[in-house]
Amino acid sequence: MLYMVEMDLPDRTRINDWHTWYVNHIGKLLTVPGFHGSQRFESLTPTASPFLAIHDVDGPGFFTSDGYKSTGGPASTGEWQSKMTNWYRNLFDGIEHMAEVGAAQHLVVLEDGAEPPGSSAARVTWLTAAGLDLSAERRGFIILEASENLAQFEGCRGVRIFKPITAKLT
């Protein structure tokens, strides 16, 4: 299952410190049974939550495990918890693991009801909400190659385009 965490960091004066903390935090989560990988992204399109982390987890039971409760969750974010806003945590079913989005690729995230242009619609992988905040019932994604035109998605309602901040950490 995919665990998607979205947020904003309005005060960007310490963004490098935050990125360093986040990578270290993922390193700790990778020691918890049931947590398999993670990749972080930043939106290229305007959105209230421009940072996205996609984590591969076993399922809803992961969040009630002793390992997760002692290592993860909102309480584990320390000083950063009060600095992050527009924070949403959603668990989605539909695929087991997210493919890595390469440094030259982009991740297109579609909200339920979004209509991607042309032949892109056939490439959407749709996910269904399975737990946590349930702020989105359904969400889709497409991984675009560097050679593909991002402009085709301009003006598409419910579409956000992200660039990778990190490689996939496993």
* pLDDT tens for the 170 residues of the chain, in order: 999 999 999 999 999 999 999 999 999 999 999 999 999 999 999 999 999 999 999 999 999 999 999 888 777 888 998 999 999 999 999 999 999 999 999 999 999 999 888 888 899 999 999 999 999 999 999 999 988 888 888 888 999 999 999 999 99
Which residues face 39 on adjacent strands?
Answer: 54
Task: Indicate the burial class of 17 (C-beta count within 10 angstroms; 0-12, 13-18, 19 or more).
Answer: exposed
Q: How far apart are CA 148 and CA 134, in angstroms?
A: 31
Calculate the CA dihedral of residues 27, 88, 108, 131 and round it to 10 degrees. Answer: 90
For residue 156, tell me if it sits in a domain: yes
- Total structural domains in the chain? 1
Whole-model pTM: value is 0.95
Q: How far apart are CA 131 and CA 69, in angstroms?
A: 16
CA distance 105 to 146: 5
Q: Report pLDDT for 96.
A: 93
169 domain residue, yes or no: no
Could you give the count of Cα atoms lying within 13 Å of 43 in the half-sphere of its Cβ? 16
By residue range, what is the domain housing residue 130?
2-164
Looking at residue 78, its pLDDT comes to 84
Picking from 6, 99, 103, the residue whose alpha carbon sits closest to that of residue 51 is 6
**37: helix, coil or strand?**
strand
Are 43 and 4 spatial neighbours (Cβ–Cβ below 8 Å)?
Answer: no
Amino acid at 10: P
Count how many residues are written for the chain.
170
